[in-house]
Amino acid sequence: MKKVLIVAYYFPPAGGAGVQRILKYTKYLQNFGWQPYILTVSPDSHEVKDDSFLSEIPENTVIHHSKIFEPYDLYRALTGNKNKYIDVNSIKKDGRSKSAKEKLAEFVRATFFIPDARMFWRFNAIKEGVELIKKYNIDAIYSSSPPYTCEIIGRGIKRKTGLPWVAGPRDPWTGYISAPDRPAISEKIDKALERSVWKEADAVEVAWPGIIEDAIRKYPELEKKRDKFFHNPNGFDLDDYPDMEASHNERFTLTYTGSLFGKASPRAIITAIEKLVKEGKINKENILLRVIGRYGSIEQEMLENSLIKDNTELIPYLPHKESIEYLMKSDSLLMLCSGTPYTDLIVPGKLYEYLGASKPILSISPESSMVAKILIETNAGLNSDETDIDKIAENYLTLYNDWANNTNSIIANEAQIKKYDRRELAKNLAGILNSLV
């Protein structure tokens, strides 16, 4: 069996969506002739943990935990924020007012933490990655980002060993919605790092096709190397879904999982439901809007001040499998993808988990978005733009009536959905690695 060194910051027991891709590759690559060896950080580095993921890692997997300096304490000192969860790797541009201390902290992050706040990890990781390759006679390298420091580590290990290297970005790099506004010189350095990674990688495996177009748009010389870019989407693992009998909830239950803040706003769905209640088309006592995950204070206030406040359930972050169980016990699943410069390219990972749950999806996304296109391809749900409240209300009412009448007007294309099975995606990555070794 061939061996691949996987460089990943997010790895169990870390929780959250960023863990899924690498966890499932680790779980299934051996089925296709590749044994993963993991280079990651200490478990203490992660604020959010999900120990349930650990049971999915094959027992023979070698996991090397490398030391990393995490600048959380510096960020907290600058902002005076000593208690709340902080991710200095990804500062969202959500338009909210910020204190002078927060602005100073963001300036420090944007100016000096290049490509991100995990930049200090590369010093240990490159050295230890080379040692792992020599110790276990490893055949190839795969790095997963964000954080983009992982790609710098992959590049450094390749330079020292000459082994084939696959860069694996899950999101675009510079200029993306989560990227900070950098001073000109810092932006120039960041782009130089990005260009070097795309040029030096033997292959680039991306989570959504827009990443390829984004890279070529920024660096036109990559057009000649387009054939080394591969789209391998995120997906769902059927093992995560419990074998449950279909049930009919006492209330029409619409569930949203994930982060609810900034661009992911519940305003449109609240307005649409309130419209239906006021028009007498639905009885609010027969509905439940459930939110599972992290939510901002503004979004919480929005829900608690709405007409459906007593028909809303807010549940903090849950272990992944518990979250999946809630999906399976729902009548419909809510997808929110507000308009941004990257909306036409973005495919949030939760969409694939929704597809795996085989529940009709109520999507509020631009008609030009990748989310809308995938829903058309799979016929797995209904979509409307966040500005079209009438259409959102119409789609909600369609699914509500399906619940009320115990009917199903949404018949998904199972053949199209199957290609997002994590086993198939691991097979695709194995094929890329095989082409290089």
Per-residue pLDDT tens over the stretch 256-305: 998 887 778 899 999 999 999 999 999 999 999 999 998 888 888 999 99
Q: Render pLDDT for 312-335 as a digit per residue (tens, 0 to 9).
A: 999 998 888 899 999 999 999 999
Q: Specify burial of residue 216 (Cβ count, 10 A radius: 0-12, 13-18, 19+).
A: middle
* 84 has pLDDT over 50: no
CATH of domain 2-235+422-436: 3.40.50.2000
Q: Render pLDDT for 344-358 as a digit per residue (tens, 0 to 9).
A: 777 888 999 999 999
CA 146, CA 90: separation in Å to the nearest integer?
9
pLDDT mean over 142-163? 98
pLDDT mean over 430-435? 99
Which segments of the chain belong to CATH 3.40.50.2000? 2-235+422-436, 238-417
Backbone angles phi, psi at 142, to 5 degrees: -135, 130
Confidence class for position 95, pLDDT limits 50, 70, 90: very low
Confidence class for position 23, pLDDT limits 50, 70, 90: very high
* 138 has pLDDT over 70: yes
Q: What is the CA radius of gyration of the chain?
A: 22
Sheet with 252-257, edge to edge strand ranges: 312-315, 287-292, 252-257, 332-336, 361-364, 381-384
Which residue, 185, 186, 197, 181, is CA-closest to 149?
197
* 18 has pLDDT over 70: yes
Q: Please tell me the class of the 238-417 domain.
A: alpha beta
How far, CA to CA in Å, does 44 sit from each of 38, 137, 170, 243, 345? 16, 29, 23, 34, 34
CA 268, CA 260: separation in Å to the nearest integer?
13
